[in-house]
Chain A
Amino acid sequence: MKIILVGNPNVGKSVIFGHLTGKYVTVSNYPGTTVEITEGISKLAKGQYRIVDTAGVNNLIPMSEDESVTRDILLAGDINNIILVADAKMIRRALFLAVQLVEMRLPFVIALNMYDEIKERGMIINSEKLAEILGVKVIPTVATEKKGIASLIKALADPAVSPMTFAYEPKIEFAVQDICRLLPDTTISKRSFALMWLAGDDSLAKKLSPAQVQEISSIRNSLAAFYQKPLSYLINERRFEKVDEILKEIIKFEPPKRKIILPFLGKITTHPVWGVPVVLAVLFLLYEFVGVFGAGTLVGFMENTVFEQYINKWAVSAVNFLIPWTIFRDFFVGEYGLITMALSYGFAIVLPIVGTFFIAFSILEDSGYLPRLAIMVNRIFKVMGLNGKAVLPLVLGLGCDTMATMTTRILATPKERIITIFLLALAIPCSAQLGVILGMLSAISFSATICWLAIEIVVLLAVGALADRIIPGRRSDFILEIPPIRIPQIGNILIKTFARIKWYLIEVIPLFIIGTAILFVLDRVHLLRIIEYITSPLVQDWLGLPAKATQTFLVGFFRRDYGAAGLYDLLKNGLLNPNQVLVSIVTITLFVPCIANFLMMVRERGLKSALIMISLIFPFAILVGGLVNHALQLLKISF
């Protein structure tokens, strides 16, 4: 037996799901982030139920392949009850879904969530009246404060199908009747199926004979011939008409109780003038928190105190005591040792940086700032064949490209996903790498930092613009709902950060270990030397770097930040001059993504696309690095 959660994007489904199942799922104040279906078990009054959380939709007639998931779940049957989660202040759009559930003749209850946010807007909803009109239960809730959840659970106990009906134009009604005669029995009402079909969703076609399909199509086509507007529009229009009829009876407005500060913040963050300093301030705070506090203070503490003074020492003596063979000792605590390299990099360098980044990102996400950032950057992103929505994966990429690659699913078209994934792999340094890079750059000069940043941005825009020309397909419309600015809840931020860190540890730390093990072997069989030797013309002549830098590039494939950290070592040992630092940093930022990111690219776009992207990125990084090297020499610039 299943209970399904449906609703518009960003209405609090995940929070309610969490309350029902005790399971945590990503809660975020950015429309469209729940992309995967989540399931959990809940023990309610009458036994155990499977609770299914679905991706937010604005219409149950899917507008694209991705949106059909929610509809498919509704069609799959075996549904005990449905919770329609509504954002009370946008009740109109929730009722638009409600009338469709009514047509489907599926049982549902409405959770009128975010009830706290309507009062301050002077909106009064008569939920009893709504329940009376629809004939189903309507429960006001404030999910984040767990208000109304108990009543909601109680209301789930006896599922009720709404008895409400409403008709379309006679012409459409006749067509619906004609189609209904041809349809087989399904889990939802034939009428709603016929309407879906008229609106262009012929997902039932495979269950019918070709002759029947043809007949239905001809009914549909001759009906469509009467109107210039698409049938889907006419159907939606009628549904909204019904919704507005209902709304008239249940909603009242009174002068809003003004809450000054949050709407004000919401306004200036997208202001054409003030928005820009806000962006800069946000970036600055991000840098201070992640770059200075995370990458500086915390890393310093973890590396110098925790690992160098304790763990590594203990490990060395423990290994020396337990293992008599040098080669195995080296495997654990040598130059490419499991503990001295993999774990100390993983935990001492990467974890503090990624951890602080995830905290900062969660705050940005929950406050509702990110969609506002999307408004600010939309015009620039259009140059790259993207729209403002891509800001979420790209900013997340500054934390972890692998995770960001996964979230490109929120983008609407394949073209946008490919471009974003490519740009993430090419030009967005992840936070661990960024931490090390900024550390190195600040050791040279401020102008070198600016130079690096300028090269990055030019590459990003130029490659994006080029990709836009080359990759077929279209950019999706930029239509983004802007949630209100909210004060992030500490609890949610902590939970979310931990969930992300956990993901990171499970997915990424093993790759550290594998990567280190491979390096260990390469080093043992002197393959590292050989590769260094073979590639030395490229590295020494073209890039103008010492041969030892090869190793760091190679390492960079296992973790980009490994590579960066390797460069940092070279710098500390005085093997790089400032110009070489810039060249090597430019190269390694652009260089192939880490192995985890590569695997994620394969998962999202298939092996072929991933390999094509890599084979473009590799020469490109070397090319740009070399160009920088020669440009600096020609112009006789030194930092």
Chain B
Amino acid sequence: MELNIRDEILEAIWMKQEQLRADALDLLKCVGPEATQAQIEELVQDDYLTRINGKVTLSQKGRARATTLVRSHRLSERLFTDVMELGEKYLERNACSFEHFLSEEVLEAICTLLGHPTECPHGYPIPPGECCKRAEKNIKSIIVPLPSLKSGESGKIVYVVTKHHHRLDHLTSLGILPAVTVKMHQTFPSYVVRVGQTDIAMDNEVIQDIYVRKIS
């Protein structure tokens, strides 16, 4: 257990440095109040953390470890939602206990299975691993961008990743949301997909933001 708490501290600092809007220390809730000053000192001694101007930050070694941890946390979340279809409430608890035991090989296997996702279900980026870099260009995976479906094929939406709020709201209002089944009707001259009983035509730019799990 001791080790886990140390891991969580590293993870939390990493996320804090990731400059996300979320207060990273909140994520220490996995650990509880036990995260003490003593453990931080210990981490400094083991060269996971360094102190610069009195502020604690990750050392090179600590950063590497933390990146792996965050990666495995977020990949676990993806695994739980996309493949096992577990609900939100199981996510955090299980991902938190899972991440510490995953070996690099298992992690790569999961990552590959999921198609090297770039975001966790909450929308945070997943640090890429070696496998992602190797497989930069398409390895056949079960989660694919919607436009890669051939006409006649169907898929279940897994996530919609877009930087444009407006686009996301537009798609959402049309009912394009995770867990919805879409069928590709045609891909040229524009994409036409069927969602429920509605046919929706879309541009390239829009449709590539939608990722699906192919249904055979």
| CB-based contact B173/A96 at 8 Å | yes
Bound: A379/B201 CA distance, A = 12
Distance from B126 Cβ to chain A, minimum over Cβ atoms (Å): 12
B198 near A93: Cβ-Cβ < 8 Å: yes
CB distance A379 to B189 under 8 Å?
yes
CB-based contact A275/B189 at 8 Å: yes
B74 to chain A, nearest CB (A): 11
Asked if A374 and B201 sit within 8 Å, CB to CB, the answer is yes
- A93-B174 contact given A226-B22, A378-B203, A478-B203, CB 8 Å threshold: yes
**Cβ of A565 to closest chain B Cβ, rounded Å:** 38
Q: Which of A353-402 contact B (CB under 8 A)?
A: 371, 374-379, 382, 387-388
A479 and B206 within 8 A (CB): yes
Most buried by B among A89, A93, A376: A93
Interface residues in B74-116 (C-beta closer than 8 Å to A) = 88
> Please, what's the 1-or-0 string for B182-216, where 1 marks a CB less than 8 Å from any CB in chain A?
00001011101000111111110110000000000
- Which 3 A/B pairs are nearest by Cβ-Cβ distance? A228-B123, A58-B173, A59-B173
B173 touches A236 (CB 8 A): yes
A15 vs B192: C-alpha distance when bound (angstroms): 27
Q: Establish whether residues A90 and B196, one from each chain, have CB atoms under 8 Å apart when the complex forms.
A: yes
Per the bound structure, the CA–CA distance linking A382 and B188 in Å amounts to: 15
Binary interface encoding of chain B residues 45-86 relative to chain A, with 1 for a CB under 8 A from any of its CBs, else 0: 000000000000000000000000000000000000000000
CB-CB under 8 A from B205, the residues of chain A are: 477
Asked whether, in the complex, the Cβ of B175 is within 8 Å of the Cβ of A93, the reply is yes
Quick check: is B171 within 8 A (CB to CB) of the other chain? Answer: yes
Closest residue on chain A to residue B209 by CB atoms: A477
Please tell me if A321 contacts chain B, counting CB pairs below 8 Å: no
Check A229 for interface membership: any CB of B closer than 8 A: yes
Q: Is the CB of B186 within 8 A of A479?
A: no
Q: Could you say which residues of chain A place their CB within 8 Å of the CB of B168?
A: 230, 232-233
Q: What are the interface flags for B137-149 relative to A under an 8 Å C-beta threshold, 1 for contact and 0 otherwise?
A: 0000000000000
The interface residues of chain B lying within 8 Å CB-to-CB of A275 are 189
In the complex, how many angstroms separate the beta carbon of B200 from the nearest chain A beta carbon?
A: 6
Rounded to whole Å, the gap between the CB of B59 and the closest CB of chain A is: 27
Q: Say yes or no: A378-B189 contact (C-beta < 8 A), given A59-B169, A92-B175.
A: yes
> A74 CA to B150 CA in the complex, in Å?
43
> How far does the alpha carbon of A230 sit from the alpha carbon of B171 in the complex, in Å?
13
Q: Is B122 an interface residue (CB 8 A)?
A: yes
Task: Give the distance to chain A from B81, nearest Cβ to Cβ, in Å.
Answer: 13
Task: Name the residue on B nearest A239 (C-beta).
Answer: B172
Residue tally, chain A, CB below 8 Å to B: 46
CB contacts (< 8 Å) of A90 on chain B: these are 196-198
Is A505 close to B, CB under 8 A? no
Q: What's the minimum C-beta distance from B27 to chain A, rounded to whole angstroms?
A: 11
- Whether A375 contacts B197 by the Cβ 8 Å rule is no
- Besides A229-B122, A376-B189, A479-B170, 6 more A-B contacts (Cβ < 8 Å) are A59-B172, A59-B173, A92-B196, A225-B21, A225-B23, A233-B168
Option from B174, B177, B201 in Cβ contact (under 8 Å) with A58: B174
- B123 / chain A contacts, CB cutoff of 8 Å: 227-229
- A119 adjacent to chain B (CB < 8 Å): no
Contact pick for B189, options A89, A92, A237, A375, CB 8 Å? A375
* Structural contact, A272 and B189, CB atoms closer than 8 A: yes
Return chain A residues, CB-CB under 8 Å to B202.
477-480
Given contacts A225-B22, A375-B190, A388-B190, contact A481 B173 (CB under 8 A): no
- Complex-state Cα separation, A224 to B123, whole angstroms: 13
**Are B190 and A479 closer than 8 Å at their CB atoms?**
no
Asked if A121 is at the interface of the complex by the 8 Å CB criterion, the answer is: yes
- A477-520 interface mask toward B, CB cutoff 8 Å, 1 = contact, 0 = none? 11111100000000000000000000000000000000000000
Of the candidates A169, A232, A271, A382, which one forms a contact with B165 in the assembled complex, judged by CB atoms under 8 Å apart? A232
User: Any chain A CB within 8 A of the CB of B166?
Assistant: yes
When the two chains form their complex, are residues B172 and A236 in contact, meaning their CB atoms are under 8 A apart? Answer: yes
Q: How far is the CA of A374 from the CA of B170 in the complex (A)?
A: 19
Q: Check if A230 sits within 8 Å of B203, measured CB to CB.
A: no
Query: In the complex, which residues of chain B have a beta carbon less than 8 angstroms from the beta carbon of A224?
Result: 21
Check: B29 CB closer than 8 A to any chain A CB.
no
The reply to whether B23 and A482 contact each other, CB–CB distance below 8 Å, is no
Residues of B within 8 Å of A378, CB to CB, are 189-190, 201, 203
| Residues of chain B having any CB pair with chain A under 8 Å | 20-23, 88, 119, 122-124, 164-175, 177-178, 186, 188-190, 192, 196-203, 205-206
Contact residue among B21, B124, B199, B201 (Cβ-Cβ distance under 8 Å from A388): B201
Minimum CB–CB distance for A118 against chain B, Å:
8
**Are B122's CB and A477's CB within 8 A?**
no
Nearest residue, chain B, Cβ from A230: B165
A243 to B, closest residue via Cβ: B175
Contact with B along A41-64 (1 / 0, CB 8 A): 000000000000000001101011
Q: Which residues of B contact A347 (CB under 8 A)?
A: none
Q: Which residues of B contact A478 (CB under 8 A)?
A: 190, 201-203, 206
Smallest Cβ-Cβ distance to B88: which chain A residue: A169
Q: Contact between A375 and B201 (Cβ–Cβ < 8 Å)?
A: yes
| Distance from A331 Cβ to chain B, minimum over Cβ atoms (Å) | 54
CA distance A565 to B57 in the complex (A): 81
Contacting B at CB under 8 A, from A63-91, are 63-64, 89-90
Min CB distance A226 to B, Å, is 6
The complex places the Cα of A485 from the Cα of B89 at a distance, in Å, of 45
> Does A33 lie at the interface of the complex (its beta carbon under 8 Å from any beta carbon of B)?
no
Contact B169–A63 (Cβ < 8 Å): yes
Cβ-based interface call for A123 (8 A)? yes
Q: Which A residues are CB-close (under 8 A) to B192?
A: 270, 375, 482
Q: Could you give, for residues 176-214 of chain A, a 1 whenever the CB lies within 8 Å of some chain B CB and a 0 otherwise?
A: 000000000000000000000000100000000000000
CA distance A227 to B26 in the complex (A): 13
- Interface flag for A289 (CB, 8 Å): no
CA distance A58 to B175 in the complex (A): 9
> Which of chain B's residues has its CB closest to A200's CB?
B165
- A482 to B123 CA separation, bound complex (whole angstroms): 31
Cα-based distance from A123 to B169 in the complex (angstroms): 28
- Whether B189 pairs with A233 at a CB distance below 8 angstroms is no
Chain A residues with Cβ below 8 Å from B189 are: 270, 272, 275, 375-379
15 contacts between A and B (CB under 8 A): A58-B170, A63-B169, A63-B170, A93-B198, A121-B197, A227-B122, A232-B165, A232-B168, A232-B169, A270-B189, A378-B189, A477-B164, A477-B205, A479-B203, A481-B201
The answer, yes or no, to whether A240 is at the interface (CB within 8 Å) is yes
Alpha-carbon distance between A271 and B154 when the two chains are bound, in angstroms: 19
Residues of A within 8 A of B124 (CB): 228
Q: Hey, which chain B residues are within 8 Å of A58, CB to CB?
A: 170, 173-174
Given the complex, which residues of B lie within 8 Å of A232, measured CB to CB?
165, 168-169, 172
CB–CB A479/B200 < 8 A: yes
Closest to B174 in A: A58
A26 to B196, CA, bound (A): 28
- Minimum CB–CB distance from A344 to chain B (whole Å) comes to 44
Provide the residues of chain B in CB contact with A376, threshold 8 Å.
Answer: 189-190
Interface readout for A554-580 with B: 1 if CB under 8 Å, 0 if not?
000000000000000000000000000
Chain A neighbourhood of B190, CB < 8 A:
270, 375-376, 378-379, 388, 478
Q: Chain A residue with minimal CB distance to B151?
A: A272
With a cutoff of 8 Å between Cβ atoms, the chain A residues found around residue B199 in the complex are 481-482
A387 to B198, CA, bound (A): 20
* Pick from A61, A226, A374, A480: contact of B200, CB under 8 Å: A480
Could you tell me the distance between the alpha carbons of A387 and B177 in the complex, rounded to whole angstroms? 24
